Amino acid sequence: MNVRAVFIDMDGTLLKASNDISHRNKEAIYKLINQGVKVFLATGRHYEVTAPYHKEIGLRTPMICLNGASIHEANTGRAIHMKTVSLNEDRFHHLTSEQPCNVIIHTVNGLYCKKTDEEIDYWTKIGLIPPRYIGDLRLANYQDVLKFSVRTGAPSPELSAFFKQEAEVINWNDGFELLAPNVSKWSAIKRLLRELRMSPTEVVTIGDGPNDIEMLRNAGTGVAMGNASEEIKAAADFVTAHHEQDGVAEFIERYLLKSYNSMVI
């Protein structure tokens, strides 16, 4: 493979369920970087809970956050690209208020949520920045939204369908997310590739979720995790091991590391 860049999802891909990066995954990434391959994180997380992991690995590449709604510079965290989403918010809050769900709003200036939970407590601990508002979001004074996240605890395609004319919809097993139209991890990757003068054929993407399908299909090589659903695996060229069994490292070692491959041969 003639690979110049690798874009890696975080949750369910690079990270274990404990939110840790294994030693094996780190070592594989270090060796890849030493070969001259650029490694990027491409995640649905916001910048503050992406940056600590980016720093832990020692990456010097921009971070794709919020499923492509923002791209952040490596050293300073400055946003070098942002795409906000606009909805009929009276309608959005009316529809979601009728559901037993949490609503999380990621804005340019911080996080707003209907209620706190274990995930938001974790984000606060890792990112060191608490939500700007917790409560009835109809009363919150927010603006410049990058992503709406609705956590219903179950698939909600009937509810998310109300927003398909206004936004890019990502359906999950526990709810859905809304982005600006045509925003995705892949749209952000294409933007970076133009700046780096790289071809999509020179790119590997690795992921496990519905927000990864487009980048798996369109990159030169798409790699699905063993823990991904059959729909995600069908979008990929390769399927690697489960994220708890270092699937990222397994693929890198087997297909991308020159020294490892020569030893195997």
User: Which of 3.40.50.410, 3.30.1240.10, 3.40.50.2300, 3.40.50.1860 is the CATH number of 89-179?
Assistant: 3.30.1240.10
| Domain edges within the chain | 5-82+183-264, 89-179
User: Average pLDDT for residues 71-86, to the nearest whole number?
Assistant: 97
pLDDT averaged over every residue in the chain:
96
How confident is the model at residue 169, as a pLDDT?
98
Task: Please report which confidence band the pLDDT of residue 20 belongs to, taking 50, 70 and 90 as the band edges.
Answer: very high
In Å, what is the CA distance from 206 to each residue of 17, 246, 265? 17, 12, 25
How confident is the model at residue 183, as a pLDDT?
98
Residues 85-119 have pLDDT tens digits of: 999 999 999 999 888 999 999 999 999 999 999 99
Which one is predicted more confidently, 169 or 265?
A: 169
Q: Which residue has the tokens 């909600």?
A: 156
CATH superfamily of 5-82+183-264: HAD superfamily/HAD-like (3.40.50.1000)
Residues 145-186 have pLDDT tens digits of: 999 999 999 999 999 999 999 999 999 999 999 999 999 999
How confident is the model at residue 1, as a pLDDT?
76
User: Average pLDDT for residues 7-29, to the nearest whole number?
Assistant: 98
How confident is the model at residue 263, as a pLDDT?
43
How confident is the model at residue 259, as a pLDDT?
55
